[in-house]
Amino acid sequence: MDLLSWHIYIILWFAGLLAGFVDSIAGGGGLISLSALLSVGIPPHLALGTNKLQSSFGSFTAAMNYSRNGLVSFRDILPGIVFTAIGASLGTIAIQHITADILKHIIPGLLFAIFLFILFSPELGTKDQIAKIRESLFYGIFGLVLGFYDGFFGPGTGTFWAMGFVLILGLNLKRATAYTKVVNFTSNIISLIVFILGNHVLFIAGMVMGIGQAMGAVMGSNLVVIRGIRFIRVFLLTVVALTIMNLIYTTYF
């Protein structure tokens, strides 16, 4: 099924471009790309695997762009990378054997709570704060849990990571966004490897979308560097709201 018609590849490239732009700023791009893959008739498990291939392009590009602009310390985030890799591998193995239906009913409520918290906390993430717990404990918990979640289901992972970095580690929103892309790339690439081993990846479609993802990620991450925290907050609220509506619609209608 790896060979699709040329107009479908154009649709997937554009979906990748838009997803990469959105994801590099506030997360949630996976909803766009996964929806595009499913809409052209690709079966769910192949769509999930192919989505991890294309999203790896965007998360890697955004992470490197943020790093070049001095927003990421890989030495500090190394424990997060390790625990996220473990969690993502377990989650991806699990999703290939069971369905994620139960999560579809839980995640909209969690995202709605985050949306309200961001909406009524105008100063959230405007400056660095004191960390609430040790970094090693934070990365151990969040890496395993969100790594597993991203490998198993995915929507909203970037939002959960960003809020964790802001509320628990005390990072400002700009740095939290940059660190989020590093752990997102980790879970993406680990999940991709597991999906490849399970023969659940369409490589041509994933590469076409990946080119769009990388282009969108450069544009989006450059905007974050230029525009700053207020811009991220507005974009984050918009993406979370759209994610909630999409999940509710696909689950109940």
Q: What's the pTM value of the predicted model, to 2 decimals?
A: 0.86
pLDDT band at 232 (very low <50, low <70, confident <90, very high): confident
Which tokens belong to 14?
A: 């554009």
- 1 lies in some domain: no
pLDDT for residue 228 is more than 80: no
Q: How many structural domains is the chain composed of?
A: 1
Residue 187: inside a domain: yes
Q: Does 191 fall in a domain?
A: yes
Q: What domain range includes position 43?
A: 6-252
Nearest residue to 163 (alpha-carbon basis) of 59, 31, 27:
27
Q: Does any domain span residue 124?
A: yes
Under the banding of pLDDT at 50, 70 and 90, the label for residue 27 is confident
Residue that is written with structure tokens 């759209």 in the block: 242
pLDDT 10s digits, 164-206: 999 999 999 999 999 999 999 999 999 999 999 999 999 999 9
pLDDT digits (tens, 9 = 90+) for 131-161: 999 999 999 999 999 999 999 878 778 888 9
